[in-house]
Amino acid sequence: MKVYKFGGASVRNADGVRNLRTIIEGESELFVIVSAMGKTTNALEGVFDCCRKGDIAGAEAKIDEITAYHQTIIDDLFGEPHPLAQVEAFVAELHRFVVTVPYDASRAEERYDRTVAFGELISTSIISEWLASVGIANHWVDMRRCFVTQFRHKDANVLLDESSPLLRREVAGSQTRVFIGQGFIGSAADGSTTTLGREGSDYSAAVVANILNAESMTVWKDVNGILNADPKIFPDARKIDALNYVDTIELAYSGAQIIHPKTIKPLQNKSIPLYVRPFGDKGAEGTKIDGTAANVTMPIIILKRNQSLLKLRSRDLSFVLEEKFPIVFSTLERFRIKTNLINNSAVDLRLCVEESWRLEEAAEQLRDEGFDVQIESSVELLTIQNYDPETLSKYIESPRNIIKQANAETIRVVRTKE
Ligand code: ASP
Ligand code: MG
C-alpha cells in the first residue's frame, strides 16, 4: 500500500482534481488523503467566527459562498450542473448546526472542530464520486470512524492502538483497493468530531501509512520539493534533494511550510520514506525524507508570520522560571495557544506565540495569576538554521528586531512586521 496526500492548493479547482486523477491513475493499492479544497478551512473558520459573534445571518451567507464555490467545481468536473446528494447532505447538516445549536463559549473548540471538518468531508465526497464516474473505482472512508483521537479539540493526536483495528478493518473489508479519506479529522471517544491542528492532513496521511505499514508516503505539493526557504519570500530558494527525519522535524517545527511537524514521528517509527513531490510534474523527483540522509548543511530560512509577543512580569517578583512556569504554560495550553519561542530574565518572560482569538482571554487569566501582561501583536519569527555571515547580514540584522537568540547552528529573531 502507498499513501498519497493532496493539500487544499492542489485540489482548489476542477483542473486540480483532474490532475489528481492523472497522478493516481494506474495505482492499484493506494490510500489517498485529501484536504479541504482551496481556502475552505479558512472560510469555515469564518463561519465559526460569525457564530461566536452571534451573527447567524453572516454565517449563513458564508455557507452560501462555500456551497457555490464547491458547486462550481462539481459542475466543471461533470461538465453540467450536477447535484451530489452526499455534498448536499453535508451542507444541510452544517447549516442546521449553525442555525439550531446556540453558541456556548465553554465548548468553543468542540464547535470549531465540528464546523471546519465539513471542508474535508465535502472535498473527499466530490473527488470520490467524480473519480468513480470516470472509471476509477474507489472506497470513500469516513476518517471520523477510523481515527480515534485524544479528547482534545482543535489539536488532537490520533491514538494508534485504538485506531489501528478500525482502519485495518475498513481496508481489509473492501474489494476496491483505492481509498479516499479526509485529512485533518477524527473523533474522540465520546463520538465528537476532532481536528488534528491546522494543516494537519499531512499528519493524517502519516498515521494511515504507519497503521497500514505502507511502503511509502507522498505529499503532492505546489513546489518542486522541499526548498531551503519559501520562494515567495526569498527568491534565491534552492531545493533540497534528501533530508533525514530529524532535520525535517526541526524544520517543520520552526515553521517551514513544508509539512506538518506531527507527520514525521509515525513515519520514522516504521521507517517509511516520505516523498514531497510537485503535483504539476508527475515525473519530477522532489525531495526524499528517510532515516539515512546526511544532515543538511545549507542555510535554511524560515519566516513564521501571524505571531504575537506576550510580555509577562510576575507582579510579586517571584522568579518566573522556577515558580511560575507551569501556571503560564497550563494556561496557554487551555486556550490552545502555541508558543514558538521563550525568552526570560528573573521576573520577565517573553513568549512569541501564534496569533489566536483567545489571546486576550488567556492574558486575563494570567493577570489573575499575578502577572502584568502586555501583548504586542503583528510580529513575526525568523529562524535561520546553519546560518553563516552572508545570511546573517542579509536577513538577520534589522532595526525591527525585538528578540534575538542564537546557538551555534540556529539563530532566531522576533521582529515587528514590515
Ligand atoms: N484543511 C485543513 C487546513 O487547511 C487541513 C490541511 O489542509 O492539512 O488547515
Ligand atoms: Mg488546507
Q: What is the mean pLDDT of residues 249-268?
A: 87
Mean pLDDT over the full length of the chain = 95
Position in ligand 1 atom list of the atom nearest CA 42:
4
Please state the atom number of ligand 1 nearest to the C-alpha of residue 204: 8
- The CA distance from 297 to 112, in Å, is 41
* Ligand 1 atom closest to the CA of 119, numbered from 1: 1
Residues 252-261: b if buried by 16+ CB within 10 A, e if exposed: bebbbbbbbb
pLDDT band at 370 (very low <50, low <70, confident <90, very high): very high
Each residue's pLDDT tens digit, 31-56: 999 999 999 999 999 999 999 999 99
Given a cut of 80, is residue 257 above it in pLDDT? no
Q: At 289, is the pLDDT very low, low, confident or very high (cuts 50, 70, 90)?
A: very high
Regarding the beta carbon of 7 and ligand 1, being less than 6 Å apart is answered yes
The predicted-structure confidence for 78-109, as pLDDT tens digits, reads as follows 998 899 999 999 999 999 999 999 999 999 99
Residue where the block lists cell 482534481: 17
Asked if residue 178 lies in contact with residue 128, where contact means CB atoms within 8 angstroms, the answer is no
Report how far ligand 1's centroid is from the alpha carbon of 320 (Å): 36
**How many angstroms is it from 368 CA to the middle of ligand 1?**
35
Q: Does 19 score more than 80 pLDDT?
A: yes
Q: Name the least confident of 169-183, 218-232, 269-283.
A: 218-232
305: pLDDT strictly greater than 80:
yes
Measured in Å, residue 135 CA sits from the centre of ligand 2 at 27
Gap between the Cα atoms of 132 and 27, Å rounded: 15
Residue 237 above 90 pLDDT? no
Integer Cα distance of 106 and 89 in angstroms = 28
- Sheet (strand 348-354) strand order: 339-344, 348-354, 300-314, 371-385, 410-416, 401-406
pLDDT for residue 251: 83
Nearest to 340 by CA among 379, 301, 314: 379
Please give the average per-residue pLDDT across 126-143, as a whole number.
98
Best substitution site from 47, 199, 202, 257 to test ligand 1's pocket, by max atoms within 8 Å of Cβ? 199
* Domains delineated in the chain: 2-214 (3.40.1160.10), 300-416 (3.30.2130.10)
Q: Looking at the predicted structure, is the pLDDT value of residue 311 above 90?
A: yes
Please state, in angstroms and rounded to a whole number, the distance separating the CA atoms of residues 358 and 128.
Answer: 37
Q: Decide if 140 contacts 128 (C-beta within 8 A).
A: yes
Q: Which atom of ligand 1 is nearest to the CA of 184?
A: 5
The grid cell for 236 is: 534565491
- The per-residue pLDDT for 230 is 83
With a cut of 80, say whether residue 256 has pLDDT above it: no
CB of 206 shorter than 6 A to ligand 1: no
Report the nearest-CA residue for atom 7 of ligand 1: 199
Does residue 149's CB lie within 6 angstroms of at least one atom of ligand 1?
A: no
Query: Would you say residue 254 has pLDDT above 90?
Result: no
User: Which amino acid residue places its CA nearest to atom 2 of ligand 1?
Assistant: 199
- Cα–Cα distance list, 376 to 215, 350, 351, 358, 417 (Å): 46, 10, 10, 14, 11
Q: Tell whether ligand 1 has an atom less than 6 A from the beta carbon of residue 199.
A: yes
Cα–chain center distance at 362: 23
Is 9 within 8 Å of 38 (Cβ atoms)? Answer: yes
- 1 CA to centre of ligand 2 in angstroms: 24
